[in-house]
Structures are given as C-alpha cells and as structure tokens.
Amino acid sequence: MEGMSSDSLPISEGNRPDRVVKLNGVIVQSDKTSWLGAWIIRPVEMLDLHLAGMGREIGSEPLAMHAGLDVELEDGRRFVVEQLFGTPRENFISGLNWTPLETFRKRDHAGWDVTISPSDFRKIDQNIICEVIEFLNQIKGRPFFGEDCTGLIERAFGKKRLFADSPTADLIGLGMRVGDPALMLLRPEAQFDPETERLIRADILRALPDPTTSWDAPNGRLWIKRALLALAIVALAAFLKKLRFGRRQSSKARRI
C-alpha cells in the first residue's frame, strides 16, 4: 500500500463484481483525518460514547465511525460491501457499493480498520453466516437516506441487531435508534489480539446491554429523509409563489 496513489487503486462498483463465497466478518474503520468525521460524525458520537462508558482517553485512537462487510469473491478477490453517501444516486437511489479491500483501507487516512468475525457478535451462528452469503449474492441497494452503514449490515444478517442503541436517545426518551459503528454488540466471551482489543475497546463492548428496540425501529436516517422531503415541499412552494409574483408584475407592466 505504501507509495500507491489513490488514482491507481480500483474503484468501488455499484454491482456485485462476482459471486460471494466467504464472509470474513464486519470490518470497522476509523478515518482519522476526515473533515466529515471531525466536524459532523465525531461530535454526534461523542455523547453516545461517553454515556456508554467509552469516552475517548487522552492519547487514545479515535473510535470507528464506519462499517461494512468484508467478503471474498469466487475469483479470490476481497471486497467490502458498504453503504456510502455523497452522490445523488447514493443518497436517493442506492448507496450500495462493492469496494476493493485495498481501496477501502486507503480511506483510513492515518486511521485504522479491523475485521471482526461474525461469530464474535451476539446470537450469530454458522447458519446465519451462510444466510448472509446467500443474501449478498442477491442483495438490492437502498438509498443512504433510508439505510446507513450499520442498517445495511443488520439487514444482511437477517435483520438482527449487531450494534447497540443510542444511549443519548434512550436518555431523553426519543425512542429512536441510531446505529453506531463503535458500539458493536460482542459476545461476553469474544477474544481478540491485543491491538484489536485496544482499538475497538472490546472490554466495554462485551459489557454493553442488549438492545431494547427492534431492527426496524425509527432511526436517524428516517428523520433525515422526512426533513429533506419537508424542505423540498417548502422550496417548491416558495418557487411557485415567486413565479406567481413574477407573472403579476409582468402583467402590471404590460397594462402600464
């Protein structure tokens, strides 16, 4: 990876490049220098993490803020199945992307990524893992403003919860869940190498309480979608009002 420019890396694809034959696990990523992470995602996460007992310690690595599925294809290549946003297509039609692993890792920007085995998540067994592989070979994309990265993963796992409820939402009684890539629901007996243990703060994750809301409970992306719809209606109304005003002014000018 060293010395490799981003221009020389293979790009993400909207369609499955080949048949999925193996699921390595859930890959979580911490993008250390991303402006989006620094100004939007991390501030939103901060209170959640603090309430979950994961407040960032001085000198510690930033926690994960994105997740995908680390898979192997029939031709031997490794890809990350992920939900992205940014383009109109990703935001409003389908954010599903098949990203080569090396391209995914290049986005770390001095951060880190680790792959967590599916069996390290609560209530996930070999039968479910086989079902995930089958699902990924026929998956249909959804817009980002309707399904975020954690929502995609949980849908692939048969709509099972793999990420904890938002402690902030619970605290203020909104009844709204926000999937947080840093709050993985790990088995109490899950064990990792020392570096992974440190990066994901596994000691905290193993002790997180089980979620109290279902997979399809209202989430933050749903409210974003509703807000965008409301803004579109307001913008259309303002445009029509301006158009009518312009026509009246034009009519007055002709009479004069």
* 166 Cβ contact partners less than 8 Å away, ≥ 6 residues apart: 48, 176, 177, 178, 180
Cα separation of 201 and 1, whole Å? 26
pLDDT at 2 over 50: no
Task: List, for residues 79-137, the tens digit of each pLDDT value.
Answer: 999 999 889 999 999 999 999 999 999 987 678 999 999 999 999 999 999 999 999 99
Measured from the Cβ of residue 68, the count of other Cβ atoms closer than 10 Å reads 27
∠ CA 134-136-137 to the nearest 5 degrees? 65
User: What residues contact 38, with CB distance under 8 A and at least 6 apart?
Assistant: none
At position 42, the amino acid (one-letter code) is R
Classify strands 66-73 and 78-83 as parallel, antiparallel or unpaired.
antiparallel
DSSP 39: I
Rama region for 177: left / alpha / beta (φ>0; ψ in -120 to 50; rest) = beta
For residue 241, the model assigns a pLDDT of: 76
Q: Which two tokens stand for residue 23?
A: 């699921």
Which tokens go with 122?
Answer: 């609560």
Mean pLDDT of the chain: 82
CA distances from 86 to 22, 55, 70, 123 (A): 29, 29, 22, 33
Predicted local distance difference test score (pLDDT) of residue 1:
35
Which of 31-40, 57-66, 210-219, 244-253 bottoms out in mean pLDDT, i.e. has the lowest? 31-40
Q: What does the pLDDT read at residue 84?
A: 93
User: Is the model's pLDDT at 57 over the cut of 70?
Assistant: no
Span 195-205, pLDDT tens digits? 999 999 999 89
- What are the DSSP calls for 120-184, one per residue? GBTT--HHHHHHHHHHHTS-----TTT--HHHHHHHHTTS---B---HHHHHHT---B---TT-B
Confidence of residue 239 (pLDDT cuts 50, 70, 90): confident
Find out whether 163 and 150 touch, Cβ atoms under 8 Å: yes
Q: Return the ∠ at Cα 221 (arms to 131 and 55), rounded to 5°.
A: 90
Q: How confident is the model at residue 54 (pLDDT cuts 50, 70, 90)?
A: low
Between 241 and 171, the more confident residue is: 241
Q: pLDDT of 15-35, one tens digit each?
A: 999 999 999 999 999 976 554
What pLDDT shows up at residue 159? 93
